[in-house]
Amino acid sequence: MYPYSNVLACLNLSHVDPTVIRYAGLVTRLARSSRACFIHVVSKASLPDSFLTEYPQLAPAVDDMMRQRLADAVDADFQGFEGTERTVTVLQGDKLGELLARIRDDGVDLVIVGRKREQTGHDSLEKQLTRKAPCSVLIVPEGSAPAITRVLCAVDFSESSQRALDKALRYCRDLGLPALDAVHYYHLPTGYYKTGLSADEFAAKLEPHLHREFNGFVAGVDSSGVEVRCLVRRAGDVPRALGEEMRALGADFLVLGSRGRSATASIFVGTLPEKLIWTTDVPMLVVKDKGEGAGLLQLLRDRL
């Protein structure tokens, strides 16, 4: 597996925490991680400092009891690699800003964040980390079992998705899975009718070319020991189609790259991973090169 040596797991003292902790255990076993840091950030009260000075009892408290509660939860549910050093930290301040600072300062390789089943916020922590974290992000829906039996990788033939395919193949090899499903979705070009072909006729002509491109794309990574099943699908609504594909295949783990080949594109442009946060019922790994977007991270932190 890709060496996720330094893992950060986000906790929030909710019923989602056990899911995050158990999945962190699975990741550290596969990666033989050297460190797993479990962090909870207590949001700072949105009141003027002068007012909090007058009424300090209104400031959110970070106490030993809170730290102990988190430590007890990690002890109860973490079944990770025996060589992994575990730490439990409680911070206070802006949640995203504190997490981004810790990711940068500690050289984190992978961030794990949970998602409540009923959560639908547009500016959620999951979405913000997917955009701004300079490392890979694993989003784990509440209640996900810490096990992987079938992996699906979504690709668009870009360098980003080739890195994602490589990581997905590493997962399969480490888990002893014999095959990996890889899917590419396409849209018909606006002017397809100029060929005189119907939509279905045009798609039938196009798909053999896409399959050849797919085979060349797969040849660019090490797929030894794993059969890559290349799926080419026509779809208008890719997030919905991807969800239906996962359910049809029985896939319980999704891997894809962060969209865009530049830091600006991956951080500020709406992406497929962000859309999938709310429509995917299985853990989703968004693969990034470590340090991706780091050139803009300090600017983002300065503006928080």
Percent above pLDDT 70 for the chain: 84
CA distance 235 to 270: 19
Over the chain, what is the mean pLDDT?
86
Q: Is 304 a residue whose pLDDT tops 60?
A: no
Q: What is the pTM of this model?
A: 0.86
Q: For residues 198-224, give the mean pLDDT.
A: 95
Q: Which CATH architecture has domain 1-146?
A: 3-Layer(aba) Sandwich (3.40)
Token pair for residue 285? Answer: 């790994």
Q: What is the dihedral of CA 204, 208, 211, 212, to 10 degrees?
A: -160
The domain segmentation of the chain, as residue ranges, is: 1-146
Burial class (CB in 10 A: 0-12, 13-18, 19+), 208: exposed
β-bridge mates for residue 89, sequence order: 39
Question: Helices 95-106 and 294-303, interaxial angle, to 10°?
Answer: 150
pLDDT in tens, 24-49: 999 999 999 999 999 999 876 566 66
pLDDT in tens, 80-120: 999 999 999 999 888 999 999 999 999 999 999 999 877 66
Q: What is the maximum alpha-carbon separation in the chain?
A: 76
